[in-house]
Structure 1
């Protein structure tokens, strides 16, 4: 049996496949410490809320209606209208239901978008997706139909007090050639928790408009929901911006509901792609989101439950890391949002791929950093010095995982003949 070129490309074992396999196996392995995957936290208050919401929908006969009918390829009409009204009222954006389409998760949305604006054109030319700031989301790396669909730019690194650092867009060396069909950023960024500044975002928007290409913003963790963001960040949207959102980080990843906000021409294109590839988006997530909006709960719970929960977990995890790992051993990217910490082991004598394998043998799952640099054209040692850590598990698991991490880092230094650095 022989696969097509499409089959050869999309049957490879990739970084995102390994991450999801680790997540699946770890959840079913007693004692495993899950510091790698992107599962959101099971927040007790949110779990109780969702249980009651589903019970109310069942009692009112709404679940049967949802489960037994297709929605249209653009997604559930009532949610498109409710979201448009919510965003107009909350953010002042001039959008209508025709500016919104739903997809079966954000991963599907990015498959559509990357291949809509990049790849091979009718005139024989090829265009690529530019990531102006890496590291970026691991799930982007393998969704292109064409090889070498991505190009990314190295960041400027600002060293900060208390063993932290922050990535910035290096506009001085940022090159946007005629072969770029789209600019893409995530805000907050998975894996680093970085939030590019308002100034950086507006500069990127201007550059995209000047070149008549879209700026895509992955807003899966951002405002106005789920609001897992801990720095000042003004939401931005206009007809040249494609904004991607999700219900996953509310605590509903299994519902696979992505949201794309864009110009009507883009929405029409994505709607047609939905119809061809999956008939229509799933209905359960949109139905629950409608109820949350109508009850006034979507933004309220994001601000008063979800964000404070993650903020507390984040602060506790950083405190734990610092009890076991000094800044000389481990730098931490300034945590401005999302559900991860990005750790930089600047002087580690082994690669973080080797460190990942050692941790996995001891039941600790993290993600080595080299997977998060799609399209980086030149070798950079920094890519092998970083790891992504999910900080949402319980405090006891975080402490056990960090203790094992510290032991393996010290082991690596001792094997290489290095002692503990002077403080």
Structure 2
């Protein structure tokens, strides 16, 4: 992602087609609603939120709004001590990794990703070398003419894993858009119980917001689960706001960690979120704007990929149920994700190489070259950029297959 940003900044006069971007789409109705919520917070609570320190757990008004929202919507029985608000769900995941993994008596416990590939940001959550382990999935494909594939949890491998400190999974997943079913979540809970550790579930794309999933399975409440929620994909990525819900024994240490490292999350946006929850504005955004937009956009992008990627090569697209990306597997000996990235970059198109979503792509025991045969395409760019970029992707794959693509040096 740094290479994409620096390359675009260094050649600002060049027309780039960025299909690697992780930003959510700019949906006018969503932007307008957050502007209104923020303006109201600015007018009513600027002095109390921006001109004063606040509690590390989160603004009481927001914590109370979260408690009321989840109790009413899902029938949960949580209180304020089950909630912590932080500067983004990724920071909350980092804090959990720092608290629940690492030195533990005479051993070092690990952050374990039950499904690899998963979000690249998880790869830097451990301060201990070798402190993160990704469980490789079982790859399931359809018939010869079926261009789709899926990943299945390898639960026996997860059960065999030693020195576990914390399990962490995203659903819908980044990069695949794979949604863990309630039954699969309960299987992961059972694994967490066997290892006597927490299970952190990152709902950054899921229910109740932003609801970029089909079907949008509700989050699961369990004493082992720490559910994380983010406002980034609901339209506020730059404000860095997220929150977690779990048992007090898991939440209280996170509150203490926040108090010592950053004191509290930004408070003006906390006030805006409280209003959005209390008034139902956030639910309206999800139901009327966010969910329909991404459903339409996914259909559009998947149809472009089917039309543009060459029929004469063995490629498959992940059978995604949500998220903001398409995940492509090119099952050919000649294909390499970094090579494709470099060729596409020379032609003004960015994607994200797949290997970065695996914890040890060069030494896979069960997947072989698969981690180096995948790439991620964002569906959030405008339709013209998507159409032009995917056309170039198809051309590059054709050239790579024919052996006519040139790999640029020093890129």
Per the TM superposition, whether the score is higher than 0.5 is yes
CA distance in 1, matches of 2:252, 2:397: 51
Tell me which of 147, 156, 181 is aligned to 2:129: 147
Aligned twin of 1:115: 98
How far apart are residue 279 of structure 1 and its match?
1.7
1:406 paired residue number: 394
Provide closer, same or farther for how the CA distance between residues 348 and 26 of structure 1 changes in structure 2, counting only shifts above 3 A: farther
Deviation at residue 366 of structure 1 after TM alignment:
1.1
Change (3 A) 1:295 1:20: farther
Residue in structure 2 matching 1:165, options 149, 165, 168:
149
Check 1:20–1:64 CA distance in 2 against 1; reply closer, same or farther (3 A cut): farther
Contact 1:356 1:367 in 2 (8 A): yes
- The aligned counterpart of 1:363 is 348
Deviation at 1:231, TM superposition (A): 2.4
* Equivalent position of 1:354 in the other structure: 339
Q: Secondary structure at the match of 1:147?
A: coil
- 1:187–1:195 Cα contact (<8 Å) kept: yes
Describe the SS at the equivalent of 1:305: helix
Q: Is the 8 A contact 2:38 2:268 kept in 1?
A: no
Provide the aligned length of Structure 1 versus Structure 2.
397
Whole-angstrom distance in 2 between the partners of 1:61 and 1:299: 22
Match of 2:280 in 1: 296
Q: Shift of residue 67 of structure 1? A: 2.1
1:323 to 282, 301, 307: 307
Deviation at 1:350, TM superposition (A): 3.2
> Unaligned regions of 5+ residues in structure 1, if any?
1-18, 418-423
CA deviations over 1:123-159 (Å, ceiling 9, x no partner): 2211112212111110010221111111122211222
Instruction: Measure, in 2, the Cα distance between the counterparts of 1:385 and 1:311.
Output: 26
Query: Which residue of 1 is the match for residue 138 of structure 2?
Result: 156
Asked whether the 8 Å contact 1:71–1:282 carries over to 2, the reply is no
Find the partner of 1:280 among 264, 272, 275. 264
Match of 2:49 in 1: 66
The Cα shift of 1:88 comes to 0.5
Map of 1:421 onto structure 2: none
TM normalised by structure 2 equals 0.91
1:42 aligns with 2:26: yes
Give the drift of 1:61: 3.2
Q: Does 1:390 align with 2:375?
A: no
**The one of 357, 361, 366 aligned to 1:372:** 357
Which stretch shifts more, 147-156 or 384-393? 147-156
Change beyond 3 A, Cα 1:333–1:340: same
SS of 1:397's equivalent in the other structure is helix
| CA contact 1:26–1:33 (8 Å) conserved in 2 | no
Structure 2, unmatched stretches of 5+, are: 406-411
Residue 135 of structure 1 pairs with residue 135 of structure 2: no
Deviation, structure 1 residue 178? 4.1
State the secondary structure of the residue aligned to 1:250: coil
Aligned to 1:333: 318
Q: Could you report, residue by residue, the CA deviation over 1:327-378 in whole angstroms, capped at 9, with x for unpaired residues? A: 6443110121110111111116131011111111222111101110125663
Seen in structure 2, the aligned counterparts of structure 1 residues 57 and 258 have a Cα distance that, compared at 3 Å, is closer
Q: Tell me the secondary structure at the aligned position of residue 174 of structure 1.
A: helix
